[in-house]
Amino acid sequence: MADKNFKINLTDNIKTVEDIFSGDSILRKRKFTFCSLSACLFYFDGMVNVELINESIIKPLVKSKAEINKQKAAKQVAERLLFASEIKMTSNINEAVSAALYGDTLLLIENSHTAIVINTKGWRTRGISEPENERVLQGPREGFDEAAMFNVAMLRRRLQTPDFCAKVIRLGRKTNTYVFVCYIKGLVNEETLRILKYRLSKIDIDSVLDSNYITEQITDHKASLFKSVGATERPDIVAARLLEGRIALVVDSTPVVITLPYLFSENFQSDEDYYINYKLATFGRLLRIICFFLATTVSAVYLALATFHFQFLPPAFAITVSSARMGVPFPSALECIILTLIFEVLRETGIRMPQSVGHALSIVGGLVVGQAAVEAKIVSAPMLIAVAFSGICGLMVPRLKTAVFYLRFIMIFAAALFGLYGILCVFAVTVISVLKMESFGVDATLSLNNPTCQTLKDVFVRAPWTKMITRPLIQKRNVIRKTK
């Protein structure tokens, strides 16, 4: 729709709005007269607070006996008669229509080419609740909602400083989705902010229905197994990231907020690491790092030892493995691949099914089917144990789910072809790719470039708050967050 302005004639303006929304059944129109002037309200049912419209717009106008200058009717009504908290005036039809689509009410008055846009937003929301996939034992229980305005307000409540900025942009030719770029002045890396704005300006898509629509288009390494953009549903996590000099993208219609730059060490951090004792948090973080390596290598290492390097196994264990393999119809490599695929199927099915059914399915699949397969000599018990242990370790690092899934299979194929040498080569390539990763101009392994006690205080361990003097070195200014 080309940019056009309203006309002086009220009838023409009403027809213009009705023609724009001719196929929309929830558009509501209310004609009335006040102070010898004809007027018309437009709003969308279900997106506005009807009581607010009645009490703050219609009632004061209809009961008013003020003298209104017809040439300045819109300005005088906005300044003297309306009780609404936020009022804008525009003569641009596109601007007025966009406001109405987001829950505002349009007031058109005769002999005026200016529409009054009144804030009457009142749509229903899911309400504040703890995110299902980011539950903590100790710490805040709040999670983001689908309404971006409320999500920004939750951040504002935690960051009560005038340096907090929330700049709005619109993305999606059809959805025209609100996206808030949030950061803290004085802490944000200006170069990172410039790169982000450039990448957002290059997005040309008809719809943005979720934050992942944006994530996949602004990420640095689109083919990488590891993330370079973070995502969370917890306002406390986003607030903490902003205080470290990072940027958050709050997208309307989704509770998932994007955070960037994203450091590789964040993959091993838990949401409650900073709400529990640092000794326990450090143990948990080290355990997650170990589990990541076990999740990607246990199945492959067992396959390599059982296929190429049998001499490395202790004699008693080698005899056990050999006897367990007797009667199994599949080669070890195919057996490992099949079991890994079955585990992934059971895991995904358990997630997608209703909670009660998912638990029952996991128990049946893990115990009954697994035991029956071993007894029927379809698979060997040691291989089943190795695959199951690898899968359980993978559940410890949910932020690396994609990387674990693909690396596990790559390691298995490498082990089936080249044994332990193949595993070492894949491991070396993975380490090199991680060390080369960047996120919006920031090295993803920033803390390892110049390792000191301060730069490593929140990487492999979680140091006590008394020792966390500086912020992550994402930017070079204002790095001190605590006096010694």
Average of pLDDT values for 326-348?
84
pLDDT at residue 381, rounded to an integer: 83
What pLDDT, on the 0 to 100 scale, is given for residue 238? 94
Is 209 within the bounds of a domain?
Answer: yes
Decide if pLDDT at 365 tops 70.
no
Positive/negative CA dihedral, 307, 312, 315, 317: negative
Cα torsion angle, 405, 411, 412, 417, sign? positive
Listed residues 89, 118, 147: the one ending a domain? 118
Question: Is the domain of 293 the same as that of 435?
Answer: yes
Same domain, 69 and 17: yes
Residues 236 and 349 in one domain: no
DSSP string, 84-150: -S-EEEE-BHHHHHHHHHTT-EEEEETT-S-EEEE--B----------GGG--SSS------S-HHH
* pLDDT tens track for 20-42: 888 788 888 889 888 888 889 99
**Domain-located, residue 217:** yes
Q: Does one domain contain both 256 and 395?
A: no
Say whether both 258 and 152 belong to one domain: yes
User: Are residues 72 and 158 part of one domain?
Assistant: no
Give the sheet arrangement for strand 247-251, strand by strand.
Answer: 164-171, 177-184, 247-251, 257-260, 230-232
Q: Is the pLDDT of residue 189 over 80?
A: yes
303 and 434 part of one domain? yes
Residue 184 sits in the same domain as residue 319 = no
Is the pLDDT score of 4 beyond 70?
yes
Residue 125 in any domain: the answer is no
Q: Which residue, 213, 228, 262, sits at the end of a domain?
A: 262
State which residues form the domain around 20: 10-118
User: By the 8 A CB rule, do 155 and 239 touch?
Assistant: yes
Residue 471 lies in a domain: no
R_g over Cα of the chain: 30
Tell me whether residue 452 is in a domain. no
Domain total of the chain: 3
pLDDT over 60 at 413, yes or no = yes
pLDDT in tens, 211-269: 999 999 999 888 889 998 999 999 999 999 999 889 999 999 899 999 999 999 889 98
Q: Are strands 257-260 and 105-109 parallel, antiparallel or unpaired?
A: unpaired
* Segment holding 258, helix H or strand E: strand 257-260
User: What is the Cα–Cα distance from 400 to 268, expressed in whole angstroms?
Assistant: 9
Q: Do 249 and 283 have their domain in common?
A: no
Asked whether the predicted pLDDT for residue 126 surpasses 90, the reply is no
Q: Is residue 336 part of a domain?
A: yes
Question: Is there a domain that residue 308 lies in?
Answer: yes
The two structure tokens encoding residue 103: 């829950």
In a domain, 454, yes or no: no
Which of the listed residues 84, 118, 152 is the one where a domain comes to its end?
118
Residue 436 Rama label (left phi>0; alpha psi -120 to 50; beta):
alpha
Phi and psi, residue 251, nearest 5°: -105, 130
User: H-helix or E-strand containing 442?
Assistant: strand 442-443
Mean pLDDT of 423-451: 87
Dist CA 230 CA 219 (whole Å): 10
The answer on pLDDT for 314 being more than 90 is no
Identify whether residues 432 and 298 lie together within a single domain. Answer: yes
pTM of the model: 0.84
113 and 190 co-located in one domain: no
User: Is the same domain home to 174 and 287?
Assistant: no
